[in-house]
Structure formats: structure tokens, C-alpha cells
Amino acid sequence: MSVGLGAVTRAREAMAGYLADAGVTVGSAFADAVLLAVSELVTNVLRHATRSPVTNVGITVGAGHLVVSVADTEPRLPPPAGMGVGLLMVTEPATAFGGTVSMETAAGHDGKTVLVRFPMPS
């Protein structure tokens, strides 16, 4: 997905469709938490990953979990001393639903991926 005007809206709309396909009720508190994570992570790419003209937004559903991934080509990770407001806005609802947030550096090239793992609601 090209990063720029409309990127957050396009990512949310695409993710809402994937959630519905995965059996998640769009408009539920769980769906809203997932969409908030997508919005904030794509916004973080726009604000902080200035070297990244493209971001990849993904969703994986399986083994009772839903995983949202947002990857960019900016090699810098957030400072270990603390998270910014955007990552806190992702971490709080993820934690409220029993989920976690983690970051991985890309293997073999510059970049990183932020992963938000949610247990699927029953």
C-alpha cells in the first residue's frame, strides 16, 4: 500500500472487510480495537518512517488468534525507554482483549514489522 493521503482510510476499509470474512462482527468492540490498531500503526508509518514510501498491512487468522502486521522499510525502532502515544493507543486495547504488541526487524533488508496479536473472541 502506498503511504500518503488516504492510506489510513484504505487500510481500515480493507481490514474491515477481512474481519468480516474472518467471522468478526464489524462494529463490535473487538473489531473496533483491531481497526484502531491498524489506524494507529499506519499513522505511525506516516509520521515516523520517513524513509518508507510503502507499507504492508496484513492480517492472519488461525489457531484461535488474529494477528495484524504493519511493515515498513524504516530501520529505526521506537526508543526502548518508552512508547509514543500511537503505540500506547495500540497496546492498551490489545491488552484489554488479552493481546500483545511486538516488533521485529526485517531479515535481510532495512525495515521492521509491528505485530498485534489478539485471541479471537468466542
pLDDT in tens, 84-94: 777 888 999 99
- DSSP assignment of 11-71 equals HHHHHHHHHHHTT--TTSHHHHHHHHHHHHHHHHHHHH-TT-SB-EEEEEEETTEEEEEEE
54 and 70 Cβ atoms separated by less than 8 Å: no
Question: Which amino acid is located at 116 in the chain?
Answer: V
Rg of the chain over all Cα atoms, to the nearest angstrom: 14
pLDDT in tens, 39-90: 999 988 888 877 776 678 999 999 999 999 998 888 777 765 556 777 888 9
